[in-house]
Amino acid sequence: MKIVSVVGARPNFMKIAPFIRAVEAHNQSLAGSGAPGIRHLLVHTGQHYDDNMSRAFFEALDIPEADINLGIGSGSHAEQVGLTMIAFEKVVRQERPDWVVVVGDVNATCACSITAKKEHVRLAHIEAGLRSRDMTMPEEVNRLVTDRLSDLLFTPDRLSGENLRAEGVPEDRIRFVGNIMIDTLEAQREKAAALDVADIVNRNRMGGGGLGAVPDPGQGFSLLTLHRPSNVDDPAILGAIVDFLTNELTRELTLLWTVHPRTEKQLRRFGLWDRVAAARNMVLLTPLGYHELLRLNMDAAMVLTDSGGLQEECCVLGTPCLTLRWNTERPVTLREHGGASVLVGNDVDRIRKTCREMLQRGRTPARPELWDGKTAARIVTALAGD
C-alpha cells in the first residue's frame, strides 16, 4: 500500500508527526512476516508563511524531511488553492497512491482533497467533522469541502461524528479515533517540561519591546495569542482589547504575549505598537516553537487565545482558557462539555468578567474520550485494513 500524506502550514505539523511514527511502527511490526508494509510519502505544499519556522517545527517534532516540497508559498486563498492543485496533480499522477491523507483545515487540505478525488484516489481526512458553522472562516469552507469528498473521516470526538451524520455521511465512512494533536502533546510533554520559563522569555523577547519582568513562577502569569482577522483587523476592536490588557489584566498578572506577524503589522498600522511595547507587566514575545509554547501553557494561570489547537491543549492540561471567538469548531473543549474553555468573543466586558471567574477557578484537567495519545495508531490500523 502506498500513502501520500500532505502538510501545508504550521497547524498540520503537530498532526502529521504522530501519523508518520505510527506508520513506521506498523511497518516494524510486520518485519519478517512477509506481509507488505506501507510505503509512505510526505508532501509539503510550502503554504507556511515562514519557511525557517516550518523547518524548525520539522526538526523539533522529529518529522523527516518531506519527500516532495511543492514550494507554493504565500498568496491569496485562491492563489494558494489553485497553485497547490496544479502542483499536487503532478504528484498524484506520478505516484498513483492508494490513499491520500490530509489533516486539519488549511488551504492545502482542501486543494489536495479536490485533486485526489479528481484523480480517483481514495481520500482520508484526519480531524474530520469539526464545525464552527461560521462561513466567514476560510477554514470552515476547507473542512466542509474535504469532509464531503473523503472516503474515510477520522473524527477527534463524538460531537464531530454527530455533525457528519447530520450531513448525511454514511456510517461506514466515519471512524472515531480520538485527537491526534494529543498524541503529540503526550509524546512531547516531558521534553517541554524540561524547558525553563525564564529562559524561554529571555530568548524570545521582542527587541526594544516590553518593560515586563520575567514572571515569578510563584506569582503566575497569563498567556496570549491573537491573530484572527476578526480580532486584529478592526482598529476599534484591537484598540479595545489593548486597553483591557494594558489597563486591567496586567495589574493582576504578568502577560506573556506571543505576537503573530499579522498582529504586529496591525498594531503598528493602528498606532498601538508603542503602547504595548512600553506596557508594564506585559512581555512581547516572537512566535514560539511547539515545545516553548507548550511549556508556557503548562504553567500559565490563564490562556487567552483565538487559536484552535491551544483550546485542545488547555483542555488536557487544565489551563483556564478564554477563547477570543464567538464560535468554535472544538466545542468538546468548552466548560459545558467538561473542558477548560469559555467563548468570550472580543467583547471586553465579557472578557473582563470571565477573567475574574477563571482566576478563581484554577486548573481542572479534562480528557475527552480517546484523547489518550494512541489516535495515530488507530488511524494506521484502519487504513491498513481497508
Just list the catalytic residues: 227
Distance CA 124, CA 122 (A): 7
**Whole-number Å distance between alpha carbons of 172 and 151:** 9
The whole-angstrom separation of Cα 320 and Cα 355 is: 9
- Alpha carbon distance 2, 381 (integer Å): 14
43: nearest Cα among 82, 72, 8 = 8
Is the torsion defined by CA of 340, 342, 345, 350 positive or negative? negative
Q: How far apart are CA 386 and CA 384, in angstroms?
A: 6
The x, y and z cell numbers of residue 240, run together, are: 479595545
CA distances from 278 to 247, 274, 275, 380 (A): 12, 6, 5, 50
Among positive and negative, which fits the CA dihedral 47, 53, 59, 61? Answer: negative
Cα–Cα nearest to 257, from 194, 317, 212, 319: 212
Among residues 177, 186, 146, 143, which one has the least CA distance to residue 14?
Answer: 186
